Chain A
């Protein structure tokens, strides 16, 4: 790389301190006018520290100043234009000095919070003189309307975290994935171990990689992050890859509106994710683990950090884990407000200190993932299923659910139900029964959004739908991330649909033309529709936009950006006089 050029903007002491703490020593020494990089940090510093560094700058100053960015970019040897390109990609980073000091309140305006009164909350906060930003779904749809607060020099704060877990199924013997929720102490490794923790890792070490892969394949487990790819096949490809360095990534970026399961898993059972990742590591021969966790999840991050430390202290992470000859360790990376970074290849770029723009596939992550190396990437719910499969054995695991959708599934039920929350049920449970578990519909049912913004609306006639992958596909809907958002007839669905279109317009990474401009045009047309619904020309245009986005976009965001809108049009949800 050529010698980098920097502007004259200088970092102040706070910014320098923040970055030095990241690389572990004064990384750059000032000798007169010249900056000299220290030896050790020069070796250790690398671009994947860019995202953590930007978090530190944002927190120390309330924004990312040109001086702070220069210092960070110099330490990590990243061209400043590229570092700025990265900083300006994320919602949680400000690249302009805030006009108003004080804490920044981010209030969710996505569907579950909109129907729970987020507009009123925003008004109240503004009247009280608070600085308010409208936010996409904050993954707290079970306690809508949701809020997240950033404040100078203080840890990010979710006020609702103080209330603790209220879980309707707590302690029920029918639970598998949620069996430890509210039962064990998530900060205590012994508590985890006394409830079956680390049994599966011992089994995996005893039976060896081949047997683990066979069990995974036989279990029929498929990915819970939305795409439903067979997990056994994914692990097997990485196990077979001949590479010095491979990676296990837990995708806890959870930003699909209506989804909050991964937050609750990491808050209530963090050791389970660590154990499952470790099993993935020893099974595929990967030493490096990464958890990419949503920036808006401070409590989950804190608990996971502590759990990783205590697992390391007990020899369950690091070299020779659990007395074996395997090594495996985990690093955490916090996202910074970008739905697209949940897309696996965008996530890799984000960790690598690049803009969260998805890569073209092929090549796939199993051959060219993080840092271009073979990578297993899984959703936390997928990962904790592995523990159940090994603990119970394949037969008992498959005793619940259906042949094509074995086991249990987590559903995030929110909106107009009596008890919004996370529910575990065997695959095949009818949709109506799940809503009853969640306290029943409050009011009279108008429609249900299945699978979040990337999913589809269905009407009351779908209450008999058995919740399986195959039934959902056969009836032209999806389980997606497991988000189930319920709307009563009180709701003006036009507002909800326009908001979903706005969500995609805001969250498109902007890389490809069909999605960058298509999401904008789709939103514009929806804003122009009257409450009689679209006229023929508007409908034609929406269909044309939908086709190019789903046919020609690079990634799943563009492919699904018209899915919910199209289903709402087909159900006539945009005609106010329909209901």
Chain B
């Protein structure tokens, strides 16, 4: 394709004109214009699901607000990313989530909750998600009381990365949950322990067992933690790894989501290779 074939569109974002390639989302255009928009269910390595609605913006002449993470720029449109209506919706979404879930392990959500000035006191005994933490193996835990149903783990387990389809959304409405079939334990399911779901979870609902144990035993010390970059040595693909450690103990392994080889996704060896051989509850032979 030659340069001239790429058609361009112009949009106004908060009165700043931005010209972008056709197929650019409003979120991308806003970032080009230096405008920040909060996102929760969007990630650069996953297909947008438009579920959290935190990224909504106001388009001139349109009744409802629109999700900037997935809406493509159309030539000539004008959007406001910080109008009263937009701010109101974001504040309510953050109030709704904070009144339902434990968000204490998501720094980003907590920051937004503060800057959008949420008020939780006005909710009198709201129904919460009090699900008990699922500890079914030595690799990672699932604490769905922190789950905001962003669908990221489901996408990472399915079409967008792993193609294992071990987890899906089950139930409906407020009772909808991420689940295996009939809630069977993860080792009984199609899970291959790639940990890609853990890698994308924005609320720490999914976390490495090592991290969980450190937090439970009150030994979680962010000030003693560091991250080391390396290349996975198990095979020849060359996935880049980020080893998150506390006092030289690895508590989590990730890969940068913009990495050209991994897009942030790994396999069991890279993700858990430093421990899975020792994991007593996981039996890889079962899944042959």
Contact = CB atoms under 8 A, between A and B. Distances in A.
A562 to B, nearest CB: 12
Interface of B: 49-54, 56, 64-65, 67, 70, 85, 88-89, 92-93, 96-97, 99-100, 122-127, 148-149, 158, 163-176, 179-182, 184, 188-190, 287
Given A520-B174, A548-B92, A550-B64, A5 B190 contact: yes
Contacts of A510: 149, 169, 171-176
A84 B170 contact: yes
Given A510-B175, A513-B148, A528-B124, A81 B168 contact: yes
Given A81-B167, A512-B50, A524-B126, A551 B188 contact: no
25 contacts: A4-B190, A69-B181, A79-B168, A81-B165, A81-B167, A81-B181, A84-B170, A89-B171, A89-B172, A506-B173, A507-B173, A510-B149, A510-B171, A510-B173, A514-B92, A516-B176, A517-B96, A519-B174, A520-B174, A521-B123, A545-B92, A548-B92, A551-B85, A551-B89, A554-B53
Given A521-B123, A550-B64, A513 B99 contact: no
Nearest to B85: A551
A1 interface: yes
Given A80-B190, A360-B70, A548-B93, A513 B53 contact: yes
A544 B88 contact: yes
B172 A514 contact: no
A513 B181 contact: no
A551 B179 contact: no
Given A81-B190, A84-B182, A513-B97, A553 B174 contact: no
Contacts of A550: 64
Nearest to A508: B173
Contacts of A544: 88, 92
Contacts, number: 166
Given A84-B179, A521-B123, A4 B51 contact: no
Contacts of B97: 513, 517
Interface in A1-17: 1-2, 4-5, 7
Interface string A544-565: 1101101111100001000000
A82 B51 CA distance: 18
Q: Which of A5, A95, A544 has the most CB of B within 10 A?
A: A5
A246 B85 CA distance: 39
Contacts of A520: 126-127, 173-174
A125 interface: no
A336 to B, nearest CB: 12
Contacts of A81: 165-168, 170, 179-181, 189-190
Majority-rule SS of B interface residues: loop
A355 B169 CA distance: 9
Contacts of A279: none
Contacts of A548: 88-89, 92-93, 96
Nearest to A547: B88
Contacts of B165: 1-2, 4, 79, 81-82
A514 B64 CA distance: 13
Nearest to B151: A511
Nearest to B56: A552
A249 to B, nearest CB: 22
B5 to A, nearest CB: 22
Contacts of B166: 5, 79, 81
A541 B99 CA distance: 14
Contacts of B173: 505-510, 516, 519-520
A7 B184 contact: yes
Contact of A508 (B50, B172, B189): B172
Nearest to A4: B190
Contacts of B172: 88-89, 338, 508-510
Contacts of A513: 51-54, 93, 96-97, 148-149
Contacts of B174: 505, 508, 510, 516-517, 519-520
B126 A521 contact: yes
Given A66-B181, A84-B170, A528-B124, A554 B93 contact: no
Contacts of A2: 163-165
Nearest to B49: A511
Contact of A85 (B92, B127, B148, B168): B168
B99 to A, nearest CB: 7
A2 B163 CA distance: 6
